[in-house]
Amino acid sequence: MVQDESAPGLIFITGGARSGKSRYAQELALQLSNNPIYLATARHWDDNFEKRIQRHQAERDERWMSIEEEKNISGLSLSGRVVVMDCVTLWLTNFFTDTKYDVEASLNLCKAEIDQLDTTNNTFIIISNELGMGMHADTEIGRKFTDLQGWMNQYIAQKADKVIFMVSGLPLVIKGRIPRAHEGQQ
């Protein structure tokens, strides 16, 4: 049986910092929908972070609906929509700090949220970072977070219909197929 490439489901896009993940996810979302949702998980930590948020907002035009939700993504009313969740790293940070750096509690809470996403009626394009491919964290909390991120990435990738690894702005398909609109554009 051939799966409909535009069918609802879960697309996981991962890679290093500045690898083109967000740009690629947004282009994909616009090919799948005329009015996608951008689900921002960032917490407004400080002025510098606020500037990053504003830069991301400026990259999207009027076709986008933006929703800010720091943690409870599964409770949003999104029926029939294409949703770009940007990003797992910031989302995990919110759980990790709120649980006072408890890796197991954070992982369990995040897995429960992912398990409750309605991928039968919605297309979720979830963006994440591959922290373990970078420098080794020099603090215990940093190492714990890197482990948490790696385990959560594995969990989402296992559940995903498609997994795309971004390298230098180019998509490398790890699992599934890139939707037809992207074929031949690698």
Q: Which of 44, 56, 136, 182 is catalytic?
A: 56
**What is the DSSP code string of the chain?**
-PPPTTSSEEEEEEESTTSSHHHHHHHHHHHH-SS-EEEE-----SHHHHHHHHHHHHT--TT-EEEE-SS-GGGS--TT-EEEEE-HHHHHHHHHHHTTS-HHHHHHHHHHHHHTS-TTT-EEEEEEE-GGGSPPPSSHHHHHHHHHHHHHHHHHHHH-SEEEEEETTEEEEEES---GGGTT--
56 flagged as catalytic: yes
Residues carrying an active site annotation: 56
